[in-house]
Amino acid sequence: MNKDVYVLGIETSCDETAAAIIKNGNEIIANVVASQIKSHRRFGGVVPEIASRHHVEQITLVLEETLEQADLSFKDIDAIAVTEGPGLVGALLIGVNAAKAIAFAHGIPIIGVHHIAGHIYANRLVKEMHFPLLSLVVSGGHTELVLMKGHGEFEVIGETRDDAAGEAYDKVARTLALPYPGGPHIDRLAHDGSPNIELPRAWLETGSYDFSFSGLKSAVINTLHNAKQRGEDILPEDLAASFQQSVIDVLVGKTMRAAEEYKVKQVLLAGGVAANKGLRNRLNESFQQLPDIDLVIPPLSLCTDNAAMIAAAGTVMYEQGKRGNMKMNGNPGLEL
Ligand code: KG4
Ligand code: ZN
């Protein structure tokens, strides 16, 4: 019988200090996330220096809690998977150095994981992956359609040319004076509004799987300003609903077209914006028209940043024999 594989994941790329332990690549044994959102909220966004300080304060506590939850010690861990990039360099460094210290002290192999690979592999904690598959990655920093023909093989077939979807959500939310991060607030408002305000949809050139959200973001801001100048009232709920519909139309439209063109077996949703109820509902509805494609949507807790997803991606790399070394550094520009 094969021995069980336990991988410790560490994620500190942005504003969550997180650690988790995954058994055999798909079973969560412990999952701890310390969010810093409260500290950044009064600045309306993530302040890198504050993020790094919080990570330093939290990382040891989060690791201790993770081992306690799992009822394991470092000697039980087969590999340490850590987010190597992309992200804030000062934030990444805290996780990478913690991983290196543990690896050195206990003689455990270390593996550097791409943050987006982690988001995609969050789905493996829900269901086994079947290739070829397509992943719609929508986070605060990325909007991408990623085609995978096997484990660890990532082909970006479309990406945003300007703002990421989450970034557009956060900027529109700020215009509506909603707290950071704005995505969940727009989602909630949209639910109570009606999409009766005309806004653009950036389909781009025929056949393109790229995205663009900055025009939409500007249209929302202009709509608000023009209404204010004319002394007209716009219901924030309606603006949120119209914005959300425009985002979802394009995300879901392109995902369906790519899924058919590349004849994929599965479509996976990934990233913080995957927590969006409107997007989840529309994907579920739309993929009923493509019953041969298995749509996988992770639970909310695995959509936003966490370390379980990093350990899940790290387990696959571990099994493929990939190893990092003590020269590893935070790499904000790491390629998928
Ligand atoms: O993946 P994530 O936690 O961090 C990055 O890697 O960027 O994504 C954070 C983003 C933020 O822009 C946040 O506003 C957005 O995900 N988000 C949402 C929702 N929940 C989080 N956007 C829309 N609707 C939501 N329910
Ligand atoms: Zn993320």
pLDDT by residue (tens digit) across 127-166?
999 999 999 999 999 999 999 999 999 999 999 999 999 9
Ligand 1 pocket check for 276: Cβ under 6 Å: yes
Question: Please, which residues bridge with residue 269 across strands?
Answer: 136
Picking from 41, 89, 64, 35, the residue whose alpha carbon sits closest to that of residue 305 is 35
316 to 111, 112, 132, 161: CA distances (angstroms): 10, 12, 16, 30
Has 183 been labeled as part of a binding site? yes
| Claim to verify: residue 159 and residue 190 sit in the same structural domain | yes
Q: Residue 42 has what pLDDT?
A: 82
**Residues contacting 1, CB < 8 A, separation 6+:** none
Token pair, residue 247, equals: 């985002």
Has 305 been labeled as part of a binding site? yes
By CB atoms closer than 10 A (0-12, 13-18, 19+), residue 1 is exposed
Q: Is 10 helix (H, G, I), strand (E, B) or coil?
A: strand
Write a three-state SS string for 146-211: EEECCCCCCEEEEEECCCCHHHHHHHHHHHCCCCCCCHHHHHHHHHHCCCCCCCCCCCCCCCCCCE
Q: Whose CA is nearest to atom 3 of ligand 1?
A: 304
| Claim to verify: residue 203 and residue 96 sit in the same structural domain | no
Has 4 been labeled as part of a binding site? no
Q: What is the DSSP letter of 293?
A: S
| Claim to verify: residue 171 and residue 278 sit in the same structural domain | yes
CA distance 260 to 286: 13
Q: Any idea what the CATH number is for the domain that residue 18 is in?
A: 3.30.420.40
Q: Residue 37 has what pLDDT?
A: 83
Task: Tell me the Ramachandran region of residue 295: left when phi exceeds 0, alpha when psi lies from -120 to 50, beta otherwise.
Answer: beta
| Claim to verify: residue 154 and residue 250 sit in the same structural domain | yes
Indicate whether 329 belongs to any domain. Answer: no
Mean pLDDT value across residues 262-291: 97
Asked whether the predicted pLDDT for residue 29 surpasses 90, the reply is yes
Residue 82 alpha carbon to ligand 2 centre in Å: 13
Q: Is 99 helix (H, G, I), strand (E, B) or coil?
A: helix
Task: Convert the pLDDT of each residue in 10-22 to its tens digit.
Answer: 999 998 999 999 9
| Claim to verify: residue 24 and residue 164 sit in the same structural domain | no
CA distance 8 to 112: 12
Residue 170 alpha carbon to ligand 1 centre in Å: 8
| Claim to verify: residue 52 and residue 183 sit in the same structural domain | no
Indicate whether 332 belongs to any domain. Answer: no
Has 115 been labeled as part of a binding site? yes
Ligand 1 pocket check for 181: Cβ under 6 Å: yes
| Claim to verify: residue 259 and residue 314 sit in the same structural domain | no
Asked whether the predicted pLDDT for residue 55 surpasses 80, the reply is yes
Residue 336 alpha carbon to ligand 2 centre in Å: 13
30 to 12, 23, 26, 71: CA distances (angstroms): 17, 10, 12, 9
For residue 42, the tally of other CB atoms under 10 A from its CB is 9
Q: Residue 80 has what pLDDT?
A: 98
| Claim to verify: residue 146 and residue 218 sit in the same structural domain | yes
Ligand 1 pocket check for 182: Cβ under 6 Å: yes
Asked whether the predicted pLDDT for residue 2 surpasses 90, the reply is no
As for how many domains the chain has, the answer is 2
Ligand 1 pocket check for 166: Cβ under 6 Å: yes
Ligand 1 pocket check for 304: Cβ under 6 Å: yes
| Claim to verify: residue 232 and residue 254 sit in the same structural domain | yes
Contact 313, 26 (CB under 8 A): no
Chain CA centroid to CA 50, Å: 21
Domain that holds residue 238: 130-297
Has 276 been labeled as part of a binding site? yes
Token pair, residue 151, equals: 């484990």
| Helices assigned H by DSSP within the chain | 37-41, 48-70, 89-106, 115-121, 165-175, 183-192, 214-229, 236-261, 277-286, 300-303, 308-319
Q: Whose CA is nearest to atom 13 of ligand 1?
A: 183
CA distance 103 to 213: 41
Residue 233 alpha carbon to ligand 2 centre in Å: 35
Has 71 been labeled as part of a binding site? no
Indicate whether 326 belongs to any domain. Answer: no
Contact 283, 295 (CB under 8 A): yes
Counting residues of the chain whose pLDDT is more than 90, the rounded percentage is 93
Ligand 1 pocket check for 160: Cβ under 6 Å: no
pTM of the model: 0.95
Sheet with 79-85, strands from edge to edge, namely 27-35, 16-23, 6-11, 79-85, 110-114
| Claim to verify: residue 313 and residue 256 sit in the same structural domain | no
Indicate whether 177 belongs to any domain. Answer: yes
- Predicted confidence band at 41 (pLDDT cuts at 50, 70, 90)? confident
108 to 6, 76, 115, 328: CA distances (angstroms): 11, 10, 21, 14
Question: Please, which residues bridge with residue 216 across strands?
Answer: none
Ligand 1 pocket check for 9: Cβ under 6 Å: no
Residue 54 alpha carbon to ligand 2 centre in Å: 17
| Claim to verify: residue 115 and residue 244 sit in the same structural domain | no
CA distance 106 to 207: 51
Residue 329 alpha carbon to ligand 2 centre in Å: 19
Asked whether the predicted pLDDT for residue 208 surpasses 90, the reply is yes
